[in-house]
Chain A
């Protein structure tokens, strides 16, 4: 196979973590909303934790992006 073609395929495969990050983010926001609707008075106090979890989860998706960029540009 051509190296350039293999690179492009590899970069495409490296985008798969996005699926996991998407599921994870959906779980975080969905569960936060479910909890917030049950007890709205406790929602504000937990927002910080929610945003933190969002950032940590998003990172897994971004790692895939970084790997794709490394495959495309660093080799």
Chain B
């Protein structure tokens, strides 16, 4: 649809693609297993790059384990401390065993968000453009479902059927139960949806706006000479949005981690209230 509204800009060496084109999933190696398409795609490629970069960074940073940390080790320690504090403050004493999960989740989302902000190499083929894996709802929803599954399994394993007290807070007048319990159940069921959609929609919206501003620049550069100077304004807008996206990339990883902690804390303390 966007393709139809954008003019073709031949003759300038510039090509304006639709804002949705950056989210296209393209297979790099075709693979099928039992009739199911399991091709290695650009999405998978950038996930692997993100994980490899993370492993490389932490291996390097914690390789020397100096008493007085160097620059790399400081960064690793700050990240570790940050998530450890988060887990300790929200879940409390029971939180320690969830630290590896929350830390992995936080770092994975953070790195995936930031990788999406790296500009592609000009002239590189479309299927090797940088790709934001978290801008696909299947990725974020899978992460959210993982969290909720852990909450459910851990909640029932730790509290038994008392986990269901989560839906009926104690001290509630009995006549309020028929109203409040369905509300609590619906709010619990909407958790994976809101968790997944929040991250996905933030990334999608940010990248679409970024691309739209970039398209305005190209359209104005293709305009008659009197309008060319106006291209500066959308360019400055794109820079501002880019800075905002940096903030959002970090913030959304943080929000995902903290909400995971809150849900886990609910599961850990369901029988207490």
Q: Chain A 39-66, CB within 8 Å of chain B: the 1/0 string?
A: 0000000001001101100110011011
Find residues 1-57 in chain B having any chain A CB closer than 8 Å to their own CB. 1, 20
Does A25 belong to the interface (CB within 8 Å)? no
Query: Is A72 part of the binding interface, using a Cβ–Cβ cutoff of 8 Å?
Result: yes
Q: Chain B, 227-251, contact with A by CB distance < 8 Å: what is the 0/1 string?
A: 0000000000000000000000001
**CB–CB A48/B258 < 8 A:** yes
| Alpha-carbon separation in the docked complex, A58 to B205 (Å) | 12
Q: Which B residue's beta carbon lies closest to that of A45?
A: B89
B255 to chain A: which residues have CB within 8 Å?
Answer: 51-52, 55
Interface residue SS majority, chain B = helix
Alpha-carbon distance between A58 and B247 when the two chains are bound, in angstroms = 14
Q: How many A-B residue pairs have CB under 8 A?
A: 39
Residue B198 interfacial (CB < 8 Å): yes
Tell me, yes or no, whether A9 is within 8 Å of chain B by CB: no
Q: What separation, in Å, do the CA atoms of A32 and B194 have in the docked complex?
A: 24
Task: Determine if B197 is an interface residue (Cβ-Cβ < 8 Å).
Answer: yes
Given contacts A48-B89, A55-B259, A69-B204, contact A62 B198 (CB under 8 A): yes
Within 8 A of A (CB), among B238-273: 251-252, 254-255, 258-259, 262
| CB < 8 Å neighbour of B198 from A48, A51, A55, A72 | A55
Given known pairs A55-B259, A72-B1, the reply for A62 and B205 (CB within 8 Å) is yes
Q: Residue B212 at the A interface, CB < 8 A?
A: no
CB of B205, distance to nearest CB on chain A (Å): 5
Contacts of B197 on A, CB cut-off 8 Å?
Answer: 59, 62-63, 66
- Knowing A48-B89, A51-B251 touch, does A62 contact B258 (C-beta < 8 A)? no
With known contacts A51-B255, A72-B1, A59–B194 Cβ distance under 8 A:
yes
B251 engages A55 (CB within 8 Å):
yes
B201 touches A (CB below 8 Å): yes
In angstroms, Cα B4 to Cα A72, docked, is: 14
Complex Cα gap A8–B258 (Å): 37
Inter-chain CA distance A21–B254, complex, in Å, is: 20
| Sample of 10 further A-B pairs with CB below 8 A, known A52-B262, A55-B251 | A48-B86, A48-B258, A51-B251, A51-B254, A52-B259, A54-B251, A55-B255, A58-B202, A62-B202, A65-B205
A-B pairs, 7 with minimum CB distance:
A62-B201, A55-B255, A59-B198, A66-B201, A65-B205, A65-B201, A59-B194
- Measuring CB to CB, which residues of chain A are less than 8 angstroms from any residue of chain B? 48, 51-52, 54-55, 58-59, 62-63, 65-66, 69, 72-73
